[in-house]
Structure 1
Amino acid sequence: MINTVKIEALLKQKSIKSTAMRNLVLQYFLKINKAIDLKDLEIEFHYSDRTTLFRTIKTFEEKGVIHAIKDGSNTTKYALCNEKCTAENHIDIHPHFYCEKCKSTTCLRLISIPTINIGSDFTINATELIVKGVCDKCNQVA
């Protein structure tokens, strides 16, 4: 079980009011350590309503607790941010791996996406890199 003191401290650091649902959702993200979508949360927290879960996700994203991932699966997934991310500055500039077999998405935090200089007439708002293939777990089964 994840330390509740750590969860409370992280929420306080990000200026997020602690609630039972926020604590549970953050604990779940820390436990699973992979990207999940809103449907995954709805299954895990079937006793909660969708609106509460959606608001929790949006608050976490706005405050730099999690980041959104568009992996080509037609659903937005979310994963924990680097602890240094803030509401103003998400520094999670890393690729994500999408397994075409089990449909899971994993952050590749040890790999950085290089800065791209495309000239002064352009403004880059986001850089995304999705690597697709078969994950290690699915490769072991095959």
Structure 2
Amino acid sequence: MNNEIENKLRDKNTKPTSMRILVYDFLASQHIALSLSEMEAHFYPADRITLYRTLKTFEEKGIVHSIQENNTSKYILCHDDCNEETHKDWHLHFYCKICKHTTCRTDINFSAPNNNSVRIDEVRLFAKGICENCMNETMQ
């Protein structure tokens, strides 16, 4: 597994340090976006600054994208076609008001405009509501 992660990091021009491998592996196991504090709790007693720098490097290299939510950044792995130039983040980020989870909704996506007069590098689409799991629980 580590070799696969090391190759993915190298493909993104990122040196595969121990911490970067651990963070990538952890994020790959998550289906929700996580804040620095949530990740810090998992990596305790790791240094908060090292974790923050790892996430910022990952964001710059197109490995993770950040979702701004109530003055907090949350992080989730990007798709493989993101890179240092652009994050191909053409989907909705959804925050559930009940379970408090933020997820990428790839079933609700938007296509990049076919317009050569502008270049859009990033779009941030965010919605709040109630997710399917919480809706099902409230209906029972």
Band the TM-score falls in, shorter-chain normalisation:
0.7 to 0.9
- Rate the CA distance shift 1:51–1:116 in 2: closer, same or farther, 3 A: same
The aligned length equals: 137
Q: Displacement, 1:128?
A: 2.0
Partner of 2:123: 127
Identity over aligned pairs, percent = 43
Q: TM-score with structure 1 length normalisation?
A: 0.85
CA distance in 1, matches of 2:122, 2:109: 14
Partner residue of 2:54? Answer: 56
Cα distance in structure 2, aligned partners of 1:141 and 1:96: 21
> In the alignment, does 2:83 pair up with 1:82?
no
Letter in 1 for 2:35: D
Superposition deviation, residue 10 in structure 1: 0.6
Structure 2 partner of 1:100: 97
Return the offset for 1:125: 6.2
- Which residue identity lines up with residue 37 of structure 1 in the other structure? S
C-alpha separation between the residues in 1 aligned to 2:123 and 2:18? 34
Structure 1 unaligned regions, length at least 5: none
1:23 aligned partner:
21
Following superposition, the deviation at residue 59 of structure 1 comes to 0.4
The CA distance in 2 between the partners of 1:123 and 1:16, in whole Å, is 25
Change (3 A) 1:85 1:126: closer
Please state whether the residue corresponding to 1:132 is helix, strand or coil. strand
- The question of whether the paired residues in 1 share the 8 Å contact of 2:99 and 2:134 is answered with yes
CA 1:48–1:133: 2 relative to 1, 3 Å:
same
Structure 2: gaps of 5 or more residues: none
Q: Which amino acid aligns with 2:94?
A: F
Q: Secondary structure at the match of 2:87?
A: coil
1:39 to 20, 37, 40: 37
Given the two structures, how large is their TM-score scaled by the length of structure 2?
0.86
2:108 counterpart residue number: 111
User: Which whole-Å CA distance do the structure 2 matches of 1:98 and 1:88 have between them?
Assistant: 27
Q: Which has the higher strand share?
A: 2
Give the counterpart letter for 1:113 in structure 2.
F
Quick check: 2:89–2:124 contact (8 Å CA) kept in 1?
A: no
